[in-house]
Amino acid sequence: MNQVKIAQNENAAGGKGQLQVNVTSSVDNYPVADARISISYTGIPGGTLEQLDTDSSGQTETVDLDAPPVEYSLDVDNDIQPYAEYTLDISAPGFEPVSISGAEILADVKAIQNVRMRPRADGTEEEEVFVIPAHTLYAEYPPKIAEDEIKPVNETGEIVLSRVVVPEYIVVHDGSPRDTTAKNYYVRYRDYIKNVASSEIYATWPTNTIRANVLAIMSFTLNRVYTEWYRNKGYDFTITSSTAFDHKWIPERNVYDTISVVVDELFSNYLSRPNVRQPILTQYCDGRRVTCPNWMTQWGSKSLGDQGYSAIEILRYFYGDDMYINMAQEISGIPSSWPGYTLEVGSSGDKVRQMQEQLNVIAEAYPAIPKVTADGIYGPATQAAVEKFQSVFDLPVTGKVDYATWYKISGIYVGVSRIAELV
């Protein structure tokens, strides 16, 4: 297929996308205040478009940036690059500078660029440079090598785990399995899913299409975790970034708000079939360059979403009527599980107190979040603290602790408190 390349990003303008940058320390996960972010078009050095600074939460304001018309990412037959590419140069006192080239901005959605900066040692300065490759729906990538969707359980050592567990971290090998030069990255599970989904589908697609694809990505990933697929072959990682074997994961790429919200909503789910304990290895292809009978196609899922299909209806259309959504029995690294109901003004008890205590620890790192009295009573002050937390961490601002907010609080709590616990 011939692709029509755009000569300059500004020539592809016609829509507006948004960008927010979040900067944290790679050592202790604390926010980095007063970081300076310079934004320019990729391929046009020296042409700074915006300069942003982070606040006490390590966040910049949200800015509008030119992007191609949203229709480009919605049309299966479109050959023009549907996103604009920007370069971000990040600097902060006491940290090594970071440059990210090729950040992808789609029209009508907010891109979230998370940046982890290394503290500077001994007065030296060494810039970290990341180049984001093209989106998988736009460029040519190796198609998935077909595997059985259910791994055999009768082989010695094949299935190691006794139950499905959502891991806190997974180890991503940034290359094909046998590429010994490729680097391994320790990545939080939810961050991995958000990264892959942002790399493999367009965030402008219908919400139920996003849900269906996120569920397929999570189920595939949890199958690799459950079966310890690569570790049983002698490798020291969980999954690869090769599209021929697994999913496309890209270090330091931006994610999107529409995808992030769905992952936070569904992150403990996976797909299963009757009488099968393991998550299903749900394989898929784009449905345009590559066809894959009996697998989901990404563009096909978009079409069904446009027609009003629910996420499970989309999945069953491709994988069969005996596909079900299941929930993991354990979430690793989380100090206490969700109470099973939404906490809000008027709620009380131990779960409220646990949540308040965790918020107060987070507030030590994020001073914009007000501390509260950990009395187990969900009053207006707790509501205000929850609203600020939701705002800082890109959740719907409701002031209520639902499933997604509970686990986001728990995850951030673990991240900012772990260093202190280990010292």
- Which structure tokens are listed for 169? 């971290």
Residues 122 and 222 in one domain: no
Residues 372 and 323 in one domain: no
Residue 140 lies in a domain: no
Residues 216 and 273 in one domain: yes
Q: What is the crossing angle of helices 298-306 and 207-227, to 10°?
A: 140
Residues 184 and 125 in one domain: no
Final residue belonging to a domain, choices 331, 362, 392: 331
Residue 1 lies in a domain: no
Output the pLDDT for position 10.
45
Residues 251 and 391 in one domain: no
**DSSP string across 264-294:** HHHTTEEEE-TT--SPP---EE-SSS---TT
Query: Do residues 323 and 280 make contact, with C-beta atoms less than 8 angstroms apart?
Result: yes
Output the pLDDT for position 88.
97
Residue 320 lies in a domain: yes
Residue 341 lies in a domain: no
Closest by CA position to 183, among listed 118, 119, 248, 237: 237
CA-atom Rg of the chain in angstroms: 22
Residue 322 lies in a domain: yes
Q: What angle do CA 421, 382, 411 make, to 5 degrees?
A: 35
- Which structure tokens are listed for 84? 């604009």
Q: What is the Cα–Cα distance from 246 to 395, expressed in whole angstroms?
A: 28
What range defines the domain where residue 237 resides?
A: 165-331
Residue 145 lies in a domain: no
- Which structure tokens are listed for 224? 């690799």
Output the pLDDT for position 43.
86
Helix, coil or strand: residue 15: strand
Output the pLDDT for position 218.
98
Output the pLDDT for position 334.
82
Residues 127 and 270 in one domain: no
Which residues are bridge partners to 103 per DSSP?
A: 86
Residues 108 and 219 in one domain: no
Output the pLDDT for position 124.
73
Residues of the chain with pLDDT under 50: 1-11, 155-159, 419-423
CATH code (residue 62): 2.60.40.1120
Q: What is the Cα–Cα distance from 254 to 114, expressed in whole angstroms?
A: 7
Output the pLDDT for position 132.
98
Query: Do residues 83 and 105 make contact, with C-beta atoms less than 8 angstroms apart?
Result: yes
Residues 184 and 235 in one domain: yes
**pTM to 2 decimal places:** 0.92
Query: Do residues 92 and 39 make contact, with C-beta atoms less than 8 angstroms apart?
Result: no
Residues 327 and 361 in one domain: no
Residue 16 lies in a domain: yes
CA 61 to chain centre: 20
Output the pLDDT for position 153.
65
Q: What is the crossing angle of helices 311-319 and 298-306, to 10°?
A: 130
Query: Do residues 219 and 270 make contact, with C-beta atoms less than 8 angstroms apart?
Result: yes
DSSP structural state of residue 122 = T
How many structural domains does the chain have? 3
Q: What is the Cα–Cα distance from 186 to 168, expressed in whole angstroms?
A: 10
Query: Do residues 108 and 70 make contact, with C-beta atoms less than 8 angstroms apart?
Result: yes
Final residue belonging to a domain, choices 112, 131, 150: 131
Residues 305 and 207 in one domain: yes
Residues 215 and 316 in one domain: yes
Residues 301 and 385 in one domain: no
CATH code (residue 396): 1.10.101
Output the pLDDT for position 44.
82
Residue 338 lies in a domain: no
Output the pLDDT for position 285.
97
